[in-house]
Chain A
Amino acid sequence: MLRLEPRAQPSMAMSLASPLIALALTAVIAALLFVALGKDPVRGLSMFFFEPLNGLRPVTEVLLKATPLVLCALGLAVCYRSNVWNIGAEGQLLLGAIAGGGMALWLAESGFIGPRGAYAPLVLAAGVLGGMLWAGLTALLRDRFNASEILVSLMLVYVAQQLLNYLVFGPWKDPRGFNFPQTPTFDASTWLLPIARGMRLHWGAVVALVAIVVFWIFLFRSWRGYQLQVGGLAPAAARYAGFSSRQALWTALLISGGMAGLAGAMEAAGPLRQLTPHVSTGYGFTAIIVAFVGRLHPLGILLAGILLSMLLIGGELAQSRIGLPNALTGVFQGLLLFLLLACDTLIAHRVRWQGRRALSGRTVQ
């Protein structure tokens, strides 16, 4: 029979192979699902793994959606490495969009009209602050009231969504918008501009690439990043060394809230250029999967962000081209994370085949 045997050392190779095995298994299950739904599995899989990369335009769309995923996941990686379980990046992202959108609307209303894209940095800064504020609420309740950051950050997602709904259905609604729940289109001076003409991909993608480098330095080459990780891996050792766990909590949550807020403001000022109730399509939740599949490592997060973005676009393609519901993406996302966690068992364990005879000699657990 098959037995799991602890390894003497966690396997580095398996840690890198595990996401690939999980991805392969997800693809196999996806193919079986396509067959069960009466679709050609090769064509089905190509919607997710080939078509999104087929040509310059699809690739820029993949990068466009990967941007908020990578930004959120970088912040989440800091949280999870510090053993702070922020699962409310979605809410922090929405607050970033609200704050950024609010800034854009306010600038136009106050008569600050400049050249195209001139005020984009202000909008993004407002978004960062909005996200930090929302995550700060979670940190405050954890720090002062000992309330679980998991539950508080998640509850705040629903509060943020209702706040956004309130604003776009109420005070911020475009008076000339035929009663649609949306704000007026932002003034061009607040737009986050596209990298090239006729492209939707904006300069936020470059910011995300820079952020990857910054986070790598922060996590692996800075004193504060080191403190955070010790606190996550060995809380007792961190206490003994005098690293403040309160400081770790605040740092991790404010960083991840700021990153999610930045992503939200980029969505508002980049591709959307207005606020609607549907600013985010669950980026904050998908980013959790990106963080884990990317091994909580900035480089891995880049790859995982691109992969999960391909799945998002694949879902849209599967809907428009082969008539499968877009919700398929959610199934594959969840499946991928599930299989990844299962495969991660192989990092600390190896599978051994043992005959009954070999087993009979010892106590079987």
Chain B
Amino acid sequence: MNEFALLLAATIASGTTVALAGLGLLLNEKAGVLNLGAEGMMLLAAVAGFAAALATGSDLMAFGAGALVGGLAAAVFGVLVIWLNTNQYATGLALSLFGAGLSAFIGQAYTGKKLQDQVIHEVPILSDLPFVGDAFFKQHPMAYVTVAMVVLCAWFLYRTRAGLVLRSVGESPESAHALGYPVRWIRLAAVVAGGALCGVAGAFLSVVYAPMWVEGLVAGRGWIALALTTFATWRPGRVLLGAYLFGGVTMLQFTLQGMGVQIASQLLAMLPYVATIVVLALISRNPLWIRINMPASLGRPFHPGA
């Protein structure tokens, strides 16, 4: 009976990575910038986080290192697309390819290294509850922080003035510019914040979820997080929901194998990617629905004075 509780717990752990990255990309896209470099930023941050955890033994330092590296990589991307007006797709792609290369290069020293044994995290009292305790209250603190961040992000975007300005920059940069807001700097700030969140996601993956480093560890989660923003129709709460759904599908393959289902493991490993494609197609099917929800200037460069 506890198997289902453990499946739920694993689902949350697996979904947390994608949720963090998806939330970061949501911030980017709300400001009108599409960063296809998510995969690369997460890979770089995963190595940096792993290295920091190995050196200090502290998860917090690992997340910090991940956020720093993710934010730095995003800043390079941001300067290129915002000031030099390079193509957003191509530049994001360049970041993904560069991140894959550099992380493989640096990561070579960390392949096969082991982190210290993980501390077992339990919420006092609540974790003793039958079923619910095993399912929800034995998570790494970052899993709860992620939920809090989703709430915080929704509050920021829809209930604060700064959030309104950020959204206006993504909807109509010309109007925001006319009102005197520094459109480019706001976009850069959103890009860096988004990159930092992707970085924390990468570090969580290599330090808590995996916990190890191998080349290509992120395995498409950055791209899935990008699909997630569309799936969520750019709403923070739905990003979390979608991320757990993805986590559930990822875990389903192991559950099915555990139950002795006679399907080759390679075919089961396709599940998360196929599910992402199917969900993406279902949500995108209605162009009007997408147009209403998508930030109106997503992916469009802004030249002041032009």
Chain A residues proximal to chain B, CB less than 8 Å: 4, 85, 87, 141, 145-148, 150-152, 154-156, 158-159, 162-163, 165-166, 169-170, 285, 288-289, 292, 325, 327-335, 337-338, 341-342, 344-345, 348, 365
Contact = CB atoms under 8 A, between A and B. Distances in A.
Interface size class of B (residues with CB under 8 A): 35 or more
B234 to A, nearest CB: 14
A327 B43 CA distance: 14
B101 interface: yes
25 contacts: A85-B89, A141-B280, A141-B281, A145-B284, A145-B285, A147-B277, A147-B284, A148-B280, A151-B223, A151-B226, A151-B230, A151-B280, A155-B276, A158-B273, A162-B269, A165-B269, A166-B266, A288-B93, A289-B97, A292-B90, A334-B40, A334-B99, A342-B84, A365-B304, A365-B305
Nearest to A85: B89
B101 A329 contact: yes
Nearest to B86: A341
Given A285-B97, A338-B94, A150 B266 contact: no
Contacts of A341: 80, 84, 86-87, 90-91, 94
Interface in B114-173: none
Given A152-B277, A158-B270, A166-B267, A342 B80 contact: yes
Contacts of B223: 151, 154-155
B273 A331 contact: no
Contacts of B219: 158
Contacts of A348: 85
A344 B276 CA distance: 34
Given A152-B277, A337-B94, 15 more contacts: A145-B282, A145-B284, A154-B220, A155-B273, A158-B220, A162-B266, A170-B266, A327-B104, A329-B101, A330-B98, A331-B102, A335-B98, A337-B98, A338-B94, A345-B86
A170 B105 CA distance: 32
A169 B86 CA distance: 43
DSSP class of B's interface residues: helix, strand, loop or mixed? helix
Interface centre among A150, A289, A348 (most CB of B within 10 A): A150
Pick the 9 closest A-B CB pairs, nearest first. Answer: A330-B101, A334-B98, A166-B266, A327-B104, A145-B281, A327-B105, A337-B94, A345-B84, A331-B101
Given A85-B89, A151-B223, A285-B97, A330 B105 contact: yes
A332 B101 contact: yes
Contact of A334 (B87, B90, B101): B101
Interface centre among B85, B97, B281, B290 (most CB of A within 10 A): B97
Contacts of B215: 327
B264 interface: yes
A152 B227 CA distance: 9
A334 B100 contact: yes
Contact of A333 (B36, B87, B101, B281): B101
Contacts of B90: 292, 337, 341
A348 B87 CA distance: 13
Contacts of A152: 277, 280-281
B95 interface: yes
B264 A166 contact: yes
A87 B37 CA distance: 13
B105 A331 contact: yes
Contacts, number: 140
Contacts of A165: 266, 269
A169 B266 contact: yes
Contacts of B80: 338, 341-342
Contacts of B95: 334, 338
Given A145-B284, A337-B98, A159 B274 contact: yes
Contacts of A163: 266, 270
Given A162-B270, A170-B266, A328 B105 contact: yes
A21 to B, nearest CB: 14
Contacts of B290: 146
A146 B123 CA distance: 44
A156 B277 CA distance: 8
Contacts of B266: 162-163, 165-166, 169-170
B258 interface: no
A162 B89 contact: no
B287 interface: yes
Nearest to A332: B101
A26 to B, nearest CB: 11
Interface in B234-287: 264, 266-267, 269-270, 273-274, 276-277, 280-282, 284-287
A141 B264 CA distance: 26
A99 to B, nearest CB: 18
B293 interface: no
A327 B101 contact: yes
Given A288-B97, A327-B104, A147 B281 contact: yes
B104 A334 contact: no
Interface centre among A151, A335, A365 (most CB of B within 10 A): A151
A155 B275 CA distance: 10
A344 B287 CA distance: 33
Interface in B211-240: 215, 219-220, 223-224, 226-227, 230
Nearest to B108: A325
A342 B86 contact: yes
A159 B270 contact: yes
B281 A331 contact: no
A162 B267 contact: yes
A169 to B, nearest CB: 6
Contact of A148 (B76, B86, B230, B282): B230
A128 to B, nearest CB: 23
A331 B98 CA distance: 6
A315 to B, nearest CB: 10
Contacts of B274: 155, 159
